[in-house]
Chain A
Amino acid sequence: AQSVTQLDSQVPVFEEAPVELRCNYSSSVSVYLFWYVQYPNQGLQLLLKYLSGSTLVKGINGFEAEFNKSQTSFHLRKPSVHISDTAEYFCAVTSNTGGFKTIFGAGTRLFVKA
């Protein structure tokens, strides 16, 4: 069975500092990987996705993520964060098996401080 682990529940960081939000997954088959962002009192919206091809994926708002198959990871990075990046971030995995199911991680709350 597939699962998704977001290793940090909260990440505080100062404005303009770099940040990495970690995500590990377990699946024995090919996977598709997503990062979503949830701003306060809003639904989730897609930041970026990995389907195939280049393992470095660029998304909106200056975020990028790298798919590492050997380490089963899909960490999200941004070289310089802004106050407006304060939000909750969810890693999600969909596997190439029967049934259309996406598994979400528990979320990482990013706090950007001035």
Chain B
Amino acid sequence: EAQVTQNPRYLITVTGKKLTVTCSQNMNHEYMSWYRQDPGLGLRQIYYSMNVEVTDKGDVPEGYKVSRKEKRNFPLILESPSPNQTSLYFCASSLFTGRRTEAFFGQGTRLTVV
């Protein structure tokens, strides 16, 4: 089954404690991205990757890091989480055939930073 898998689904952590949210896709998609979803703001892109070892900032990259060492995986790293990073996070992937393709989303990770 084609899917994007994120882990964990729920996470509560303390300010400053480094964490990683994993994302994996089994569709051989080139393009992957991370979004955060906040009430009234929709989805905002954090980082994206067009292929292995190619990553770039989205609209709200501050406080986040990513890496793309393998095509299927695109982890999101919070080196020193802060309460304003409490949010619902989604990983997405799509075929990179220009801009005509839709995104496939993971189930989401609800992060709370206290």
Instruction: List chain A positions with a Cβ less than 8 A from chain B.
Output: 4, 6, 9, 32, 34, 36, 41-46, 49, 51, 90, 94-96, 100-102, 104-107
Separation of A34 and B99 alpha carbons in the complex (Å): 12
Apart from A34-B102, A95-B99, A101-B45, list 10 A-B contacts with CB within 8 A: A32-B99, A42-B108, A43-B4, A44-B103, A51-B100, A102-B99, A102-B103, A104-B35, A104-B44, A106-B42
* Residues of the B chain whose Cβ atoms lie less than 8 Å from the Cβ of A104: 35, 42-44
* Least distance between A4 CB and chain B CB atoms (Å): 8
Instruction: List chain B positions with a Cβ less than 8 A from chain A.
Output: 4, 31, 35, 40-45, 48, 50, 58, 90, 92, 96, 99-100, 102-103, 105-108
* Residues of the A chain whose Cβ atoms lie less than 8 Å from the Cβ of B108: 41-43
* Residues of the B chain whose Cβ atoms lie less than 8 Å from the Cβ of A51: 100
Given contacts A43-B105, A45-B105, A104-B42, contact A32 B31 (CB under 8 A): no
- From B4, B102, B106, contact of A46 by CB (8 A): B102
In this complex, the member of B96, B100, B102, B107 whose beta carbon has the largest number of chain A beta carbons within 10 angstroms is B102
Chain B's closest residue to A100 (CB) is B99
Given contacts A43-B4, A100-B48, contact A32 B100 (CB under 8 A): yes
Separation of A90 and B44 alpha carbons in the complex (Å): 12
Q: A90 to B42, Cβ gap below 8 A?
A: yes
Separation of A49 and B94 alpha carbons in the complex (Å): 14
Chain A's closest residue to B110 (CB) is A41
* Residues of the B chain whose Cβ atoms lie less than 8 Å from the Cβ of A94: 99-100
11 contacts between A and B (CB under 8 A): A36-B105, A41-B107, A41-B108, A43-B107, A46-B102, A46-B103, A51-B100, A96-B99, A100-B50, A102-B103, A106-B40
Separation of A44 and B44 alpha carbons in the complex (Å): 14
Given contacts A94-B99, A100-B48, A100-B96, contact A43 B106 (CB under 8 A): yes
* Residues of the A chain whose Cβ atoms lie less than 8 Å from the Cβ of B99: 32, 94-96, 100, 102
* Least distance between A76 CB and chain B CB atoms (Å): 15
Q: A105 to B42, Cβ gap below 8 A?
A: yes
Chain B's closest residue to A46 (CB) is B102
